[in-house]
Chains A and B, each alone.
Chain A
Amino acid sequence: DAGVIQSPRHEVTEMGQEVTLRCKPISGHDYLFWYRQTMMRGLELLIYFNNNVPIDDSGMPEDRFSAKMPNASFSTLKIQPSEPRDSAVYFCASSPQNRGGNTEAFFGQGTRLTVV
């Protein structure tokens, strides 16, 4: 398996524009996580899905952020409208279903978003 695949790797956009980040989890994994990483706040959990269903979106900062997982092999994180303070590295991670023991998360390479 190629691992978790995110696209694009880098995104530069102007304030007010819509941004869509994409993620392909590892096949067979039941959990999908979206994180945001900044120097100030570290790695923050935005939302996570289990079997394509959003379980906890309490980390989503504002209504400008939305995430979907239409099927087991694809998820998107959308920001509309984008603002300069959204500039960060966004990571997607996936994890297999617990089977009597918690398991590790596999991370993608991240998308570095710059909003100017």
Chain B
Amino acid sequence: SQKIEQNSEALNIQEGKTATLTCNYTNYSPAYLQWYRQDPGRGPVFLLLIRENEKEKRKERLKVTFDTTLKQSLFHITASQPADSATYLCALSGSSNTGKLIFGQGTTLQVKP
């Protein structure tokens, strides 16, 4: 069955450092991969989308890579700030003909001042 794995252990880093989160998947060939941020008591909020034919995407301090051979995406936050502390979820979807969107369990990031 399809499986998405994110590091279940919380990631603790110092302010100003780069945070790197991992998303691995099996038994799936997604056409798109998305990253969301979720704060306590709130719904997930979209951050970035990357297509299967794209290797890397950037948005301000965020960078996402997508390696379809390794079946892995890396999510980087550079110059991290305490306000970046949240849970980050990766999500996969198939071709443009199917809107089905499935999520990993998320990794909690804690940025310490």
Question: Nearest residue in A to B6 (C-beta to C-beta)?
Answer: A42
B-chain residues with CB within 8 Å of residue A43 when the two chains form the complex:
44, 89, 103, 105-106
Residue A101 at the chain B interface, CB threshold 8 Å: yes
Are the CB atoms of B99 and A31 closer together than 8 Å? yes
Interface residues on A, range: 20 to 34
Are the CB atoms of A106 and B46 closer together than 8 Å? yes
Interface-lining segment among A61-69, A77-85, A91-99: A91-99
Question: Nearest residue in B to A32 (C-beta to C-beta)?
Answer: B99
Among A42, A56, A110, point to the contact of B104 (Cβ < 8 A): A42
Are the CB atoms of A102 and B32 closer together than 8 Å? yes
A88 to B45, CA, bound (A): 19
Question: Nearest residue in A to B97 (C-beta to C-beta)?
Answer: A98
Are the CB atoms of B96 and A102 closer together than 8 Å? yes
Are the CB atoms of B99 and A91 closer together than 8 Å? no
Interface size on B, residues (CB 8 A): 24
Are the CB atoms of B43 and A45 closer together than 8 Å? no
Residue B49 at the chain A interface, CB threshold 8 Å: yes
* Min CB–CB distance A58 → chain B (angstroms): 10
A56 to B34, CA, bound (A): 20
* Min CB–CB distance A59 → chain B (angstroms): 9
A105 to B101, CA, bound (A): 8
Question: Nearest residue in B to A107 (C-beta to C-beta)?
Answer: B43
Residue A70 at the chain B interface, CB threshold 8 Å: no
A-chain residues with CB within 8 Å of residue B93 when the two chains form the complex:
102
Residue A55 at the chain B interface, CB threshold 8 Å: yes
Residue B102 at the chain A interface, CB threshold 8 Å: yes
Among A45, A93, A100, A102, point to the contact of B102 (Cβ < 8 A): A45
Q: Which of B90-113 contact A (CB under 8 A)?
A: 91, 93, 96-106
Residue B59 at the chain A interface, CB threshold 8 Å: no
Are the CB atoms of B100 and A110 closer together than 8 Å? no
